[in-house]
Chains A and B, each alone.
Chain A
Amino acid sequence: MAEKPVRKEDLAVDADRARVSLDRLYNIYKDIAVTADEVMQTRCPYKNADSRCTAKFGCRNQFFTSDPTALPACAGSDLIDYRDAWDK
């Protein structure tokens, strides 16, 4: 059954429960950060799941399409160090 909303006058926070929640959030983020460090060894961190480039700087692997609003495609290979293609 769906949890019912509490009344406005009962908006008081359960501080202990909130602390547990924030610890859980921190642990999720920590796992993400550790995974990010591993993934970044081989895959450019600016390349999204659609292999589009989200970087705000130039990169030789950016492949622009005719759509000026679209993010450029990433033409980089994950076998080559992506940092060499970044604009310095």
Chain B
Amino acid sequence: MPITHDGLARELEYVTNPGEHKHISEAIEPTAPIMQEMAYELIVGNNTEVDRITQQALQDGFSANQLLDDGLLNGMAIVGVKFRDNLIFVPEVLVAARAMKAGMAHIEPILSASGAKPAGIVIMGTVKGDLHDIGKNLCIMMLRGAGFIVHDIGVDSSPEDFIDAVEEHEAHVVGMSALLTTTMPNMGRTIATFEDMGMRDEVRIMVGGAPVTQDFADEMGADAYGDNAVEAVDKAKELIVLLEELKSG
């Protein structure tokens, strides 16, 4: 059955590798029109529409598995190919990831009810004085993809912002990002504030960013350093295990 959504059919034309084209076509073709619409809106980064369509599809009786596989994942697969082939760039990927989050917001509670536990709760922010957020946003995308619940407190975040977020969301891990050598020391100040507030043992803290090194992380008293977004996930998983071991005594 041909793809019925014109926009999605056009998007699929960007997948030029024959094997990939066949694989993705075969995944999309049997899907319902509303799933194709969801995939398309995710590709173009329309989080409002993905949110609306996801709710509509659940009301119509589609299962969380169908929404995930037929709608969201089919869309993100095309995003991945377009990014790899330099047809879109990091900003477009991040708006697609935001749309994915809008859909997952409705699917995650269903998955949780079925016994799927989140990997952990993470607070992510760029430290005070720093407005650079691409690295942080890529880490957030990866962490969410790995099953973490992530609360993004944005850029220019003070130590108090991190502390408030940890208290509000009962987070397990804090991730701090800095791009500037001038703002890197604010990571240390934030860690010191957690110590002053008597909260240092409640959370594990990881840091990252272009000028940050393992030595600097050690010097500041961070629990982990991640060189890139993939490593951030590995470190967060390790920290969750560490924290559980600490709490179990």
Query: How long is the Cα–Cα vector from A13 to B68 in the complex, in angstroms?
Result: 11
Instruction: Looking at the assembled complex, report how far the CB atom of A70 sits from the nearest CB atom of chain B, in whole angstroms.
Output: 15
Q: Which of B100, B155, B230 has the most CB of A within 10 A?
A: B230
Within 8 A of A (CB), among B84-131: 84, 86-93, 97, 100, 110-111, 113-116, 131
Q: Confirm or deny: A84 has a beta carbon within 8 angstroms of a beta carbon on chain B.
A: no
Query: How long is the Cα–Cα vector from A44 to B31 in the complex, in angstroms?
Result: 37
Query: How long is the Cα–Cα vector from A4 to B79 in the complex, in angstroms?
Result: 26
Q: Confirm or deny: A31 has a beta carbon within 8 angstroms of a beta carbon on chain B.
A: yes
Tell me whether B61 and A8 are in contact (CB under 8 A): yes
Please tell me the size bucket of the interface on A.
35 or more
Query: How long is the Cα–Cα vector from A55 to B79 in the complex, in angstroms?
Result: 21
Instruction: Looking at the assembled complex, report how far the CB atom of B113 sits from the nearest CB atom of chain A, in whole angstroms.
Output: 8
- The residue that A46 contacts in the complex, of B32, B88, B114, B134, with Cβ under 8 A, is B134
- The residue that B63 contacts in the complex, of A13, A19, A29, A54, with Cβ under 8 A, is A13
Tell me whether A1 and B30 are in contact (CB under 8 A): yes
A19-B142 CB under 8 A given contacts A1-B30, A33-B230, A43-B89: no
Q: Confirm or deny: B73 has a beta carbon within 8 angstroms of a beta carbon on chain A.
A: yes
Tell me whether B65 and A29 are in contact (CB under 8 A): no
Q: Confirm or deny: B248 has a beta carbon within 8 angstroms of a beta carbon on chain A.
A: no
Tell me whether B61 and A6 are in contact (CB under 8 A): yes
Instruction: Looking at the assembled complex, report how far the CB atom of A38 sits from the nearest CB atom of chain B, in whole angstroms.
Output: 10
Within 8 A of B (CB), among A25-62: 25-26, 28-37, 39-40, 43, 45-49, 54-57
Tell me whether B68 and A21 are in contact (CB under 8 A): yes
A37-B228 CB under 8 A given contacts A18-B114, A25-B76, A32-B83: yes
Query: How long is the Cα–Cα vector from A56 to B91 in the complex, in angstroms?
Result: 12
- The residue that B84 contacts in the complex, of A8, A13, A35, with Cβ under 8 A, is A35
Chain B residue contacts of A83, Cβ below 8 A = 210
Tell me whether B63 and A39 are in contact (CB under 8 A): no
A33-B89 CB under 8 A given contacts A2-B1, A2-B31, A57-B131: no
Instruction: Looking at the assembled complex, report how far the CB atom of B96 sits from the nearest CB atom of chain A, in whole angstroms.
Output: 9
**Interface 0/1 of A1-18, CB less than 8 Å to B:** 111111110111111011
A45-B116 CB under 8 A given contacts A21-B69, A31-B80, A33-B229: no
State the A residues within 8 Å of B (CB): 1-8, 10-15, 17-19, 21-22, 24-26, 28-37, 39-40, 43, 45-49, 54-57, 83, 86, 88
Q: Which 8 A-B pairs have the closest CB atoms?
A: A29-B145, A57-B131, A5-B61, A13-B114, A48-B91, A33-B229, A45-B90, A45-B134
19 contacts between A and B (CB under 8 A): A3-B32, A6-B62, A8-B61, A11-B63, A12-B114, A17-B65, A30-B145, A31-B80, A32-B79, A33-B142, A33-B230, A34-B230, A37-B228, A48-B91, A48-B92, A49-B92, A56-B131, A57-B131, A88-B182
